[in-house]
Amino acid sequence: MKKLLICMSAAAFVVALTTPMFAAEKTLSGKVVDVTCTMKDKANAGADHLACATTCAKRGQPVGIMTADGAIYTITGDYAKDKNAKLIEYLAKDVEATGTVMDMNGKKTIDVSSIKVEKGM
């Protein structure tokens, strides 16, 4: 039992040390999208898909930022709380978002600390 506890403590320590290495403060530019529909078809990222994206976002489905290269970063943290209440106004718009970006096993996320509509959009 003591060995198991030591092993579990060591594993938790290693995870705690390595997790920050995968996180970085960054600013992303891209379109705010309904992650589920956009993963199925990138064409679901525009204004033509706004009604569906709004319905899905209000149900609490993941919302993200699709960058110019087609990568999708799922938005986490305060902006995703309360069924994406703070994100609804940004759906289908080009934005600049700053926050902690993580890439764990190919799943990209951003814990947004600030977001604004890009000028000229």
C-alpha dist (Å) from residue 103 to 25, 46, 57, 77: 12, 25, 22, 15
> What would the pLDDT profile of 7-22 be if each residue is shown by its tens digit?
555 555 555 555 555 6
Q: Within a domain: residue 16?
A: no
Q: How many domains, the chain?
A: 1
Q: Within a domain: residue 4?
A: no
Q: Within a domain: residue 6?
A: no
What CATH number did the domain enclosing 47 receive? 2.40.50
Q: Within a domain: residue 95?
A: yes
> What would the pLDDT profile of 56-109 be if each residue is shown by its tens digit?
999 999 999 999 999 999 999 999 999 999 999 999 999 999 999 999 888 999
- Check residue 42 and give its pLDDT: 83
Q: Is 55 helix (H, G, I), strand (E, B) or coil?
A: helix
